[in-house]
Structure 1
Amino acid sequence: MNDTPGWASPGSAPSDGQEPGASDPAAPNDRPGPAEPSGQPGTDPQNPGMKWSKEQPPAGQWSAPTGAPNPGQAPPPPPPGPGWGGQPPGGGYGGPGAPGGYGGQGPYGGSPYGGWGGGVWGGPPPAAKPGVIPLRPLGVGEILDGAVSTMRTYWRTVLGISLTVAVFTEIIVILVQGLILNDTVSTEALNDPSASFDELSRALGDTMISSGVVFLVSLIGTITATALLTTVTSRAVLGKSVTIGEAWRDARPQVLRLFGLIFLLLLIAFGIVIVGVLPGLLVAVAGASGPGAALGILGGLGAGVVAVWLMVRFSLSSPALMLEKQSITKSMSRSVKLVRGSWWRVFGIQLLATVIANIVASIVVIPFTLVASAFSGDGVSGFLNSGAGDVGWTYLIISGVGAVIGSMITFPITAGVTVLLYIDQRIRREALDLELARAAGVQDYGTAAGSGS
């Protein structure tokens, strides 16, 4: 007998162990059943013990769900197939244990909610994640999280590199500032309302020289940290650790090229700005100071936009040079190719990472600068004139400690985001995730499970 819900006859009740809705095999379908006493409606006068039900179903519709149908009776309709209204194959919406359905055991990750990855829905499988990022195109949050995860997971190597480079850089800055710039640079005219134009120009030039020297020394440290941290981040993507010595051995052959690349990019940027400002300077020298200043400002703004546009296009040159062992020009062309069509995305991610890193670093640096100003006796003036002019050794040392701590934060974030952005662009354009999966030892990635790109 078939007792599946939905196929039992409605209105029937079990009797003497008989299935609901089953016909009595000992009696034909047209034989009346037990009747009420004589005189009651529906009684059989010849057999008062038998009676008819007050309400009878139409003829030909009271058959049991199993067995051969009565002659002349249409067979019941077949169950719906696995179309729009039917149950999907492999369990579909089925209950517990149905493979591929909501209640079944999914083939990926053992999820009890099946669905994705089953034979019905065909969703993408989860991407492999051997290291700090999943091997698929990344979102903004995943890139930032990958940089932070690299710093947190491999903190000994990352902070060791950042601390070493920051300490050496800051020692050079303090020595140059205290021994050379304090004796040769004077910015007092900038605070003197009665200073002449020549004095203001000389003071402004001294300030630019002082800031330029400090910037140059800091840039050298940043390049060195970037070269070493690029190796660490690329290994972290594969889930492999690296020591400081291994990072240096891997990066050393490309360090000089990296210096050449950075200085070439700076030369291009400053050259564009000078070309934009030069017409205004020439007009001002000719005697029209007002129009010359306006023309110089407009030219500088336009040149600045062009310089930013170019620098973003070349922003992935550093990881291309370090990881692909390319030359300077080849790495620049690789960056242009990877950034093409994604300029705003690359610009936005790098700007966001720079802002976050500098905000976090400022939270550390500003208190040290204030403390340095208080101990050196310069007060607020020392804080405002930091990095230029005559400042004492106490101020330089205390503020330098804060700068070292700030650099330990900015170096890993900015370098990590640049490397991960480079890897993300190659995953999107060149299916780099397949090569990374093979390098990480992920089995059958891109064949059985499918590629995340």
Structure 2
Amino acid sequence: MNDSPGWATPGSPSDGQGSDGSRPPTQPSDAPKWSDSQPPPGQWSSPGAGQAPPPQQGAGWGPYAPQPGQQPGAPYGAPYGHSGGPGGWGGPPPAAKPGVIPLRPLGLGEILDGAVSTLRAHWKTVLSVSLVVAALVQLGLLGTQRLLRDNLVVSTDETATPDELVRLMNDTMLAGFASYYLQLLGLLLVTGLLAGVVSQAVLGRRSTVAAHLRGVRPMAPRMLGLTAVLFLGALAAGMLPALPGLLTGNAVLTVLGVPIGLVLLAWFFVTFVLAPPALMMERGKVTDALKRSAKLVKGSWWRIFGISALTWVITWLVSVIIAVPFAVIAMIVSPDGFDGLLSGTSAQSWTFLLVTAVGGLISLTVTVPMQTGVTSLLYIDQRIRREALDLELARAAGVHDHQDHAAVGSRPGGAGPASGG
């Protein structure tokens, strides 16, 4: 028999049965009662002397009625609003959620949902900032494509020589690198610009474009400096291993250098991906933001890499869905049509480039905020896991009982289940 307060097992004296299941003889009125040996009132309620309480639907385990403030159907002793769960009697209470995420360590689905919820709740500010940066990036892509596509025409009249094929491969890789790094530059800018919006969304506060820009303005020089450092670092990590092959036209060196460059680029990007939100939320120096990112990522590199890679796949699929109709329209209105697309001559026309640029502008405007939201929430999640940032966020949001919730096990290593990624 378990005599712990808050619940009673079948066959305990509290339900009027003996250990063998038979009902004991009636006790004299002066005999000690079960309630006499239990904790004082206020911790739990026992049935009155000599009578059994009426059964109540949804009262949880045992015949006892819920305590005042206890949700019907919750385990006995659980606070209002908590229905308990496996792993303990009642389990930890739910974490507060003043904004787009609960204030506890986040799982993958909560991070993705929080990024989408931020876009929905603050769409005016988010899309305004994203549209301006996407337009600048798309102008750079348009000029780069027009400059490099002159060398990407495949001749169908005669067989290309090996040297021409190597040159074509190198030019194609340069065009791909230029497109990637221009989009990366825009992503870094938007991440820094929208970090403040994400922090307001976490606290459940609204933000306007004017108020947000006033908050960003003092940090603009440091944000641009950090963006330049990250861009040059990513450029060096990804391009230097393949640069000898690209400069000499040696296909072997290029093929060997590209995988090495991709590995270095992935390491550099994940290690310092949290630097933009760290700079804008902590408002420190560029070097401090880089150190903070490396410190927060340490020990969680693969988790952050996996979430970032999955986010990139999702946003890439959305970009393709948006861009394909514009590519079809561009092919139709292009002077050379489908044949020109195969030979590469359509890509040289301004008609084709402008129509596809519109599709690229729309796709970047929609998908970049998703990526930046995930990055900012990863920063907040890492600080919650390591520095109990949820307590500070709860105080800032006006949640007064969150400290009690956190103490019950909402953090990894606590008494209750933590939300992993």
Per the TM superposition, whether the score is higher than 0.5 is yes
The equivalences for 1:15-414 within 5 A come to: 65-66=27-28, 89-90=44-45, 95-96=55-56, 104-105=65-66, 110-115=70-75, 118=78, 121=89, 123-174=91-142, 177=145, 185-189=150-154, 194-208=159-173, 210-273=175-238, 276-277=241-242, 293=252, 297-298=255-256, 300-380=258-338, 390-414=347-371
Where do 5+ consecutive residues of structure 2 fail to align? 1-13, 48-52, 80-87, 412-421
**Separation in 2 of the partners of 1:353 and 1:228?**
19
C-alpha displacement of 1:408? 2.2
Q: Which residue of 2 aligns with 1:415?
A: 372
Q: Is the 8 A contact 2:181 2:235 kept in 1?
A: no
**Separation in 2 of the partners of 1:224 and 1:100?**
53
Q: Is the 8 A contact 1:154 1:241 kept in 2?
A: yes
Q: Which amino acid aligns with 2:292?
A: R
Q: Is the 8 A contact 2:153 2:343 kept in 1?
A: no
Q: Which amino acid aligns with 1:142?
A: E
Moved more, 112-121 or 95-104: 95-104
Moved more, 415-424 or 394-403: 394-403
Q: Is the 8 A contact 1:140 1:349 kept in 2?
A: yes
The 3 A distance-change label for structure 1 pair 253 and 380 is farther
Q: Which amino acid aligns with 1:187?
A: L
Q: Which residue of 2 aligns with 1:435?
A: 392
C-alpha displacement of 1:242? 1.0
Q: Which has the larger radius of gyration?
A: 1
Q: Residues 319-350 of structure 1: CA distance to partner in whole angstroms, max 9, x if unpaired?
A: 11221123222212111111111111111111
Q: Is the 8 A contact 2:99 2:202 kept in 1?
A: yes
Q: Is the 8 A contact 1:131 1:240 kept in 2?
A: yes
TM-score with structure 2 setting the length: 0.73
Q: Is the 8 A contact 1:434 1:446 kept in 2?
A: yes
Q: Is the 8 A contact 1:99 1:106 kept in 2?
A: no
**Separation in 1 of the partners of 2:179 and 2:244?**
29
**Separation in 2 of the partners of 1:406 and 1:116?**
52
The 3 A distance-change label for structure 1 pair 440 and 157 is same
Q: Residues 253-298 of structure 1: CA distance to partner in whole angstroms, max 9, x if unpaired?
A: 334433433443343344345564578899x99xxx8xx92x7645
TM-score with structure 1 setting the length: 0.69
Moved more, 391-400 or 192-201: 192-201
Q: Residues 203-247 of structure 1: CA distance to partner in whole angstroms, max 9, x if unpaired?
A: 455545555554454444333322222221111000111112222
**2:206 match: secondary structure:** coil
**Separation in 2 of the partners of 1:345 and 1:448?**
26
The 3 A distance-change label for structure 1 pair 78 and 400 is closer
**2:403 match: secondary structure:** coil
**Separation in 1 of the partners of 2:407 and 2:396?**
17
Q: Residues 406-441 of structure 1: CA distance to partner in whole angstroms, max 9, x if unpaired?
A: 112211110000000110000000000011111111
**Separation in 2 of the partners of 1:270 and 1:171?**
20
C-alpha displacement of 1:126? 1.3
**Separation in 2 of the partners of 1:414 and 1:353?**
6
**2:281 match: secondary structure:** helix
The 3 A distance-change label for structure 1 pair 253 and 181 is farther
The 3 A distance-change label for structure 1 pair 91 and 380 is farther
Q: Is the 8 A contact 1:376 1:392 kept in 2?
A: yes
Q: Is the 8 A contact 1:370 1:383 kept in 2?
A: no
**1:320 match: secondary structure:** helix
Aligned residues: CA RMSD? 4.2
Q: Is the 8 A contact 2:346 2:352 kept in 1?
A: no
Q: Which residue of 2 aligns with 1:424?
A: 381
**Separation in 2 of the partners of 1:449 and 1:427?**
11
Q: Which amino acid aligns with 1:441?
A: G
Q: Is the 8 A contact 1:117 1:125 kept in 2?
A: no
Name whichever structure is richer in helix by fraction.
Answer: 2
Q: Is the 8 A contact 1:97 1:104 kept in 2?
A: no
The 3 A distance-change label for structure 1 pair 318 and 385 is farther
Q: Is the 8 A contact 1:223 1:259 kept in 2?
A: no
**Separation in 1 of the partners of 2:169 and 2:195?**
37
**2:364 match: secondary structure:** helix
Q: Is the 8 A contact 1:190 1:204 kept in 2?
A: no
Q: Which residue of 1 aligns with 2:9?
A: none
